[in-house]
Amino acid sequence: MRPLLRCLPLVCAALAAAGAGAGAAQEIKQEAQEPVAKVNVSTTRDPVDKSYRKMIQGMERFEREHAFAPHAPLRFQLLPRTPDVKMDGITLRVAGDTVSVPVPIGPDNSFVLPRNEQALREDAAVLANRKTTSMTWRALIRTPGLPPDTRRLGDLRLECRVGTEAGLVSNNSQLFAWLSNALLSADQVCNSLEGNYLFFADRPLFGVRLRAGDRVEDLPFNMLYAGGNQTPEMLRFCDCQVLLDRTYYAPLWDKSWPDDTLVEFDYMTAPAAQAAP
């Protein structure tokens, strides 16, 4: 995989040179005869903004693999990544060269992404009114009616597939690890012990337990707190930067745990409504 990365600039340079040599005369002739087309760009594109096309691809994967979570809807969610980010009053829009579509956001900063053919044609970006590196993005797939403080493993499996397909995770705990992770498909990430797709619980965690019928197991420490090996130097490259005590990995790859397995959370704190005055 790495030699391919190193060769890409050379390939691009060779193609550019060949194209320039072969078509230069024709291009000069056309430019003399035709006016240059102008495009009004309504927004400044940031290479780490989320791709609308990629997120639509994630939605299409959700539709294809809905059997993992047959009763759950799909939403996306914004979460804080740095201590100074304010998560209230966030606005979101799909922005292309000529199109701008507002996206309503719920109280939990989750949203449904609308489909827009013009935005797809213009390769639009999904933009929030915050610095791009101040937030992390996730798919949010929750089967209704589960017991309190639980998730369903099939929901998490589908979240991983949708989130990876949609290109939502742009940072990793290891410096520049995204160079190799960017080449991994959702199938590789979500079906491998080494996939390391990070989930966030609602509150800081003491522990996480799996329950499927009579089988009950606690997740080991190395599946909590982003693996338990973050250093101050590494932490700023992880999208768990301010949510480290809420992070966990799930055994998505382990088919001995069925999709209906409950993932139970032992929290450090009570929900906000139950907290002491």
Q: What is the reported pLDDT for 184?
A: 66
| 178-208: burial string, b at 16+ Cβ within 10 Å, e else | eeebeeeebeebbeeeebbbbbbbeeebeeb
pLDDT digits (tens, 9 = 90+) for 176-185: 344 444 446 8
pLDDT digits (tens, 9 = 90+) for 14-62: 334 444 444 444 443 344 344 433 334 344 444 348 999 999 999 999 9
* SS3 at position 219: coil
Compute the distance between CA of residue 268 and CA of residue 203 in angstroms, rounded to an integer. 7
pLDDT (average), residues 112-132: 94
Compute the distance between CA of residue 128 and CA of residue 259 in angstroms, rounded to an integer. 33
pLDDT digits (tens, 9 = 90+) for 178-235: 444 444 689 889 999 888 899 999 999 999 999 999 999 999 999 999 887 777 777 7
* SS3 at position 112: coil
pLDDT digits (tens, 9 = 90+) for 66-119: 999 999 999 999 999 888 888 999 999 999 999 999 999 999 999 999 999 999
Helix-then-strand count for the chain, H and E: 7, 13
Contacts of 174 (CB under 8 A, 6+ apart): 234, 237
pTM of the model: 0.78
Residue 25 has phi, psi (to 5 degrees) of -65, -45
Amino acid letter, 106: G
